[in-house]
Each structure stands twice: as C-alpha cells, then as structure tokens.
C-alpha cells in the first residue's frame, strides 16, 4: 500500500510547476492567487485529488479552497495503477491552469464557469473575481465584471446569503465594488497575506 509520502512525491512529479508545501499538498502562485492540489486521504483507505484556488486579496486566517475540482477517488492499494490516469483527468477539468502565465480573461472564464453551476453552494466567488480584476488594475475590465456580477446576483437576491447582509444584495454589491476598486489597497492586502501564510517562496506566475 502506498504511503502518503509516496503519493505526494508521485503527484508532484506529474505537476513539477507546483512546489510541495507539506505532506499531500503542492502549490504555486498566480498573481494574487494561490493555485494548487491537495490529496484528501480518508480513513487511510483511499484519497481524492482536489485542485483549488485561494485569493490573497482577501484577509483570511487560513488558506481557503475555492474553485475546487476533483478527479477519481483512488484506493491506496491502487495508487500505482491509477494515479497517472487520475492526474490527466484532473488536468482536463481545471478551471484555472496550474502551469505558465495565464491571461486574465482565462481566469475570468474559470470563475464564470464555476458560478454558472446551479449546484454550487457559494457566492464568495463573485467577490473573488472582482478582487482579482481590481488587483489587475484595468478599470474597463473591472467595470465589465461588476456589471456581470450585478446582473447575475439579481436572481438570488432573496437567498439567505444576501438577506443576512446589511441592505441585502445592494449593500453587498456596493461594498464589493468599493473594495475591488482600490487597486493599491488590494496589493497591500496581498503582500500582507503572503507574509501571513508564508507563501512568498512559492513558484510565481504572471497574469497577462
């Protein structure tokens, strides 16, 4: 049966653009985002590879996992037989590439694809996509994203997520617009979060 170290090493070899940060985890940075894979082991019997994104423009006490996508669950005793196939499946499902510089519009498309899924349970990605565009610093791009967000959240304005916000969906949107419009502040937050989470030495990629 494969050990956790063996599983981690094998996956890292298939994704050399990622740096192993701890057992079962490997990451890099893309602009203000951490992008990576963690291998979720359950009951020391099987594991599921999960690709994820964390936004450093938000202030969090720990690394969060957004835009998650998974590949097949693998029994530990089947690791050698299945992990390469599982890795290829994961690569084909990624919402944001894990390798190379990435155009902003491709990142935006990844967020939009995630948000288009009616089964998703989170609205935070609307805020994340605005913060990334705000960090990038081109007003026209941010204005277009804010219009997209406003148009899309209208159908969910009665959702408990918005009902519990000050002034509902309108108040949430105004706050989101204000935060995403301060590019300098977003860069400051990002730098502080890099220090807080000790991710300054991760391989870095550019948003182009």
Q: How does DSSP classify residue 167? A: T
Model confidence pLDDT, tens digit, residues 73-125: 999 999 999 999 999 999 999 999 999 999 999 999 999 999 998 888 789 99
Task: Specify the DSSP element, H or E, that contains 174.
Answer: helix 168-180
Task: For residue 62, report the phi and psi dihedrals to the nearest 5 degrees.
Answer: -150, 170
Residues 6 or more apart in contact with residue 84 via CB below 8 angstroms = 14
pTM: 0.93
pLDDT in tens, 121-139: 789 999 999 999 999 999 9
* For the chain, domain boundaries: 4-93, 104-205
């Amino acid at each position: 049966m494969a050990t956790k170290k063996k599983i981690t090493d094998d996956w890292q070899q298939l994704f050399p653009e990622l740096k192993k940060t701890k057992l079962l985890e490997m990451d890099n940075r893309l602009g203000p985002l951490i992008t990576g894979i963690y291998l979720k082991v359950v009951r020391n019997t099987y594991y599921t590879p999960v690709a994820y994104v964390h936004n450093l423009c938000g202030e969090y006490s720990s690394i969060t996992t957004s835009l998650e996508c998974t590949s097949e669950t693998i029994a530990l005793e089947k690791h050698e037989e299945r992990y390469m196939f599982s890795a290829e499946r994961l690569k084909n499902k990624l919402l944001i590439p894990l390798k190379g510089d990435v155009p902003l519009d491709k990142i935006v498309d990844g967020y939009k694809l995630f948000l288009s899924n009616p089964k998703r349970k989170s609205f935070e990605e609307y805020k994340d996509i605005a913060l990334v565009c705000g960090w990038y610093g081109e007003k026209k791009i941010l204005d277009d994203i804010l219009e997209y967000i406003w148009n899309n959240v209208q159908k969910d304005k009665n959702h408990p997520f918005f009902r519990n916000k000050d002034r509902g969906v309108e108040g949430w949107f105004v706050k989101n617009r204000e935060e995403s419009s301060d590019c300098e502040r977003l860069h400051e937050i990002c730098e502080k979060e890099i220090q807080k989470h000790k991710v300054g030495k991760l391989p870095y990629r550019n948003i182009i």
